[in-house]
């Protein structure tokens, strides 16, 4: 647990970067600091590992004032990831990651073994280990940065806009990866971003800062969207926040209707206009329409492709996709029906865009998201 108690940072030129911050970061959760540029997010983050010392108040880590800890020792338990990864340019990817275990007393072979494991964990193929940072894309460098921060297996991870410099698709990928890693590792993560969507997607709790280093609201993502504390939070969260809620409400509330399926190689007899063609494991291959099929067995050439899939939580596993995924699936499908799949990718049924929007309206009525 990290506790900020009346923490203030006034820089020597008089800038008040952080103003009387009270906030508790829970263990094993992702806490996001979000706000416009210059509102004191980085300053707040760096005070946790003593790269910056407060001018007022105290920060406690697991109940102990961090001023009583020796900074290098403190930092051993706190991983740190920054925007451009901060890798050593003249060391290979593997050695960049192995540096940390080496510093903490591991032998060379052991350190490299550990580094290879971590690179795999963050999704970098082994072939990248011998490259130099400049030979990697921005997204790949960020993965190395995360691997390096995890190398000493610190309980706390500080991440300062780690994904802000990569393009949106890569960013999405890195965000998913972080959520997956966190579900395995249970670190205490403090994540800084200026992007409210990223905050809502990643945060178990989100602290919204305003310029002047003041905390405007500290809440769960759904509470932020449903009950913004004031006009600043409301405008920062955004006017379309009802639709933004699509991204974090799970699709498990959407009624999934039956969907006709047909197998390639078997005769087709369609009841409605469309059916989904599936393989032997009931995984979708494409759509079949009345118009595109002839008599006789269904061939691959008869399939109409298109439409994203969304995952539903059939086994109560809690890993269902979001309402946004469901809406995307419905809107991108040639049949105007989104294909719902289970965790194994098998077809469960279908939903229409109207049903997704009705589920959003229900969530609004029940107060989960704003009207």
Nearest approach, Cβ of residue 112 and ligand ADP (Å): 35
Partner from Mg ion, ligand ADP, none binding residue 37, C-beta < 5-8 Å depending on class: ligand ADP
Alpha-helical (H) ranges within 238-290 are 241-244
Task: Verify binding: residue 40, ligand ADP, rule CB under 6 A.
Answer: yes
Task: Verify binding: residue 41, ligand ADP, rule CB under 6 A.
Answer: yes
CA angle 232, 49, 83 (to 5 degrees): 65
Nearest approach, Cβ of residue 42 and Mg ion (Å): 3
Residue 42 or 188: the one with the smaller Cβ distance to ligand ADP is 42
Using CB under 6 A, pick the residue from 39, 147, 159, 339 that binds ligand ADP: 39
Token match 């510093």: residue?
103
Partner from Mg ion, ligand ADP, none binding residue 40, C-beta < 5-8 Å depending on class: ligand ADP
Q: Would you tell me which residues interact with Mg ion (CB under 5 A)?
A: 42
Partner from ligand ADP, Mg ion, none binding residue 203, C-beta < 5-8 Å depending on class: none
Nearest approach, Cβ of residue 14 and ligand ADP (Å): 8
Q: What is the CA radius of gyration of the chain?
A: 24
24: which strand partners? Answer: 3
Nearest approach, Cβ of residue 41 and Mg ion (Å): 5
DSSP secondary structure, 80-131, as one string: EE-TTTT--TTS-HHHHHHHHHHHTT--HHHHHHHHHHHHHHTT--GGGTTS
Using CB under 6 A, pick the residue from 1, 15, 90, 180 that binds ligand ADP: 15
- Neighbour order of strands in the sheet with 56-61: 16-25, 2-10, 56-61, 64-65
Distance CA 272, CA 278 (A): 17
Distance CA 358, CA 212 (A): 41
Residue 212 or 345: the one with the smaller Cβ distance to ligand ADP is 212
Distance CA 129, CA 93 (A): 5
Nearest approach, Cβ of residue 82 and ligand ADP (Å): 11
CB 284 within 8 A of CB 309: yes
The single-letter DSSP state of residue 47 is H
Residue 13 or 295: the one with the smaller Cβ distance to ligand ADP is 13
Residues 67-106 binding ligand ADP (CB under 6 A) are none
Helices (H) and strands (E) in the chain, counts: 12, 16
Using CB under 6 A, pick the residue from 42, 252, 293, 325 that binds ligand ADP: 42
CB 249 within 8 A of CB 369: yes
Distance CA 82, CA 305 (A): 40
Partner from Mg ion, ligand ADP, none binding residue 228, C-beta < 5-8 Å depending on class: none
Residue 165 or 348: the one with the smaller Cβ distance to ligand ADP is 165
Residue 17 or 150: the one with the smaller Cβ distance to ligand ADP is 17
Residue 42 or 333: the one with the smaller Cβ distance to Mg ion is 42
3: which strand partners? Answer: 24, 60
Q: Which residue stretch of 35-43, 176-184, 237-245, 333-341 sits at the interface with ligand ADP (rule: CB under 6 A)?
A: 35-43
3-state secondary structure of 362: helix
Nearest approach, Cβ of residue 74 and Mg ion (Å): 21
Task: Verify binding: residue 38, ligand ADP, rule CB under 6 A.
Answer: yes
Nearest approach, Cβ of residue 52 and ligand ADP (Å): 8
Nearest approach, Cβ of residue 161 and ligand ADP (Å): 8
Using CB under 6 A, pick the residue from 17, 61, 129, 233 that binds ligand ADP: 17
Close Cβ partners of 125 (under 8 Å, ≥ 6 residues apart): none
Nearest approach, Cβ of residue 165 and Mg ion (Å): 12
89 φ, ψ (degrees, to nearest 5)? -70, -25
Residues at the interface with ligand ADP (CB under 6 A) = 11, 13, 15, 17, 35, 37-43
């Amino acid at each position: 647990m990290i506790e900020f108690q009346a923490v203030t940072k006034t820089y020597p030129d008089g800038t008040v970067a952080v103003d009387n911050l009270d906030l508790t970061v829970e263990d094993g959760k992702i806490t996001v600091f979000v706000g416009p540029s210059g509102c004191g997010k980085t300053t707040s983050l760096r005070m946790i590992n003593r790269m910056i010392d407060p001018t007022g108040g105290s920060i406690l880590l697991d109940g102990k004032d961090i001023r009583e800890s020796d900074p290098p020792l403190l930092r051993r338990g706190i991983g740190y990831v920054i925007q451009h990864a901060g890798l050593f340019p003249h060391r290979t990817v593997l050695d960049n990651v192995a540096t940390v275990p080496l510093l903490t007393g591991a032998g060379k072979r052991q350190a490299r073994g550990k580094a290879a494991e971590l690179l795999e964990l963050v999704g970098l193929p082994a072939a990248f280990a011998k490259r130099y940072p400049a030979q990697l894309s921005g997204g790949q460098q960020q993965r190395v940065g995360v691997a390096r921060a995890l190398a000493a297996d610190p309980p706390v991870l500080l991440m300062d806009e780690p994904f802000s410099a990569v393009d949106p698709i890569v960013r999405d990928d890195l965000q998913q990866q972080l959520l997956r890693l966190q579900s395995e590792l249970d670190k205490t993560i403090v994540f800084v971003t200026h992007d409210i969507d990223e905050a809502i997607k990643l945060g178990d709790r989100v602290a919204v800062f305003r310029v002047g280093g003041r905390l405007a609201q500290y809440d769960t993502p759904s509470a932020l969207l449903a009950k913004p504390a004031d006009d600043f939070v409301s405008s920062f969260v955004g006017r379309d926040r009802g639709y933004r809620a699509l991204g974090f409400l799970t699709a498990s509330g959407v009624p999934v209707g039956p969907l006709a399926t047909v197998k390639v190689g078997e005769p087709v007899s369609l009841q409605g206009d469309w059916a989904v063609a599936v393989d032997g494991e009931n995984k979708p291959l494409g759509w079949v329409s009345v118009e595109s099929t002839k008599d006789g067995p269904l061939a691959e050439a008869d399939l109409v492709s298109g439409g994203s899939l969304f995952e539903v939580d059939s086994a109560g596993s809690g890993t269902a996709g979001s309402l946004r995924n469901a809406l995307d699936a419905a809107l991108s499908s040639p049949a105007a029906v989104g294909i719902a799949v289970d965790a194994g990718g098998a077809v469960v049924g279908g939903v229409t865009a109207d049903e997704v929007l009705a589920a959003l309206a229900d969530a609004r009525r029940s107060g989960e998201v704003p009207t």
